[in-house]
Chain A
Amino acid sequence: NAGVTQTPKFRVLKTGQSMTLLCAQDMNHEYMYWYRQDPGMGLRLIHYSVGEGTTAKGEVPDGYNVSRLKKQNFLLGLESAAPSQTSVYFCASPSPRFVYGYTFGSGTRLTVV
């Protein structure tokens, strides 16, 4: 099935720890996105990529880094986690079914204590 897969689904970090979230898509699309979702704030774009080897900043990029070494994978890194980064993170890529629509992954719930 065409889709977007995120790992892990849940994670608890201590302040200052680092981690990487992995996103994989099998739709062969050039574009991939990372969003965070917080109560009352909707979906906010962190970083995105328009192709292998390229990345760009979104609305809320501070504290995050990304890499797109392979077309199908988009990694989101937190070098030194802060409690303000407690959130649900979603990866997305354009849908093969709807022009301009995205397919989202099922999310990663991250808690920083």
Chain B
Amino acid sequence: GQQLNQSPQSMFIQEGEDVSMNCTSSSIFNTWLWYKQDPGEGPVLLIALYKAGELTSNGRLTAQFGITRKDSFLNISASIPSDVGIYFCAGQGGSGGSNYKLTFGKGTLLTVNP
């Protein structure tokens, strides 16, 4: 099936640092979504992006829908210990998929050292 390339695979940072991660694809998507998964829990939707170039924030998190529609970026500012978890990107629609069927990246494991 379709694949999203998510990077980095893992990050180990100090509390207070900013974090950046991204997803790229060879296919165009209509929607980009970012999820966070806490240890032992299911993924929770953080941000949804519906338009190329769109920049959306949710607290200390900011995500952008790439102009080419083939990529998306997530930034976390001033990280705190509770930011620890796995962050997934997902794409919907366009040439990369279909309505209501998402394509997921493999995740970025974030560790925050207090």
Number of A-B contacts (CB under 8 A): 53
A90 within 8 A of B: yes
Using Cβ atoms and an 8 Å threshold, which residues of chain A touch B99? 100
Starting from the known contacts A43-B88, A101-B33, A104-B43, 13 additional A-B residue pairs (CB-CB under 8 Å) come to A42-B105, A42-B106, A43-B104, A45-B101, A59-B1, A92-B42, A94-B100, A95-B45, A98-B48, A100-B31, A101-B45, A107-B40, A107-B42
Decide yes or no whether B28 CB sits under 8 A from chain A: no
A105 to chain B, nearest CB (A): 5
Give B contacts to A, CB under 8 Å: 1, 31, 33, 40-45, 48, 50, 88, 92-93, 99-102, 104-107
The secondary structure that dominates the B interface is loop
CB within 8 Å for A100 and B100 given contacts A42-B105, A59-B1: yes
Count of chain A residues with Cβ under 8 Å from any Cβ of B?
25
Contact B88 A42 (CB under 8 A): yes
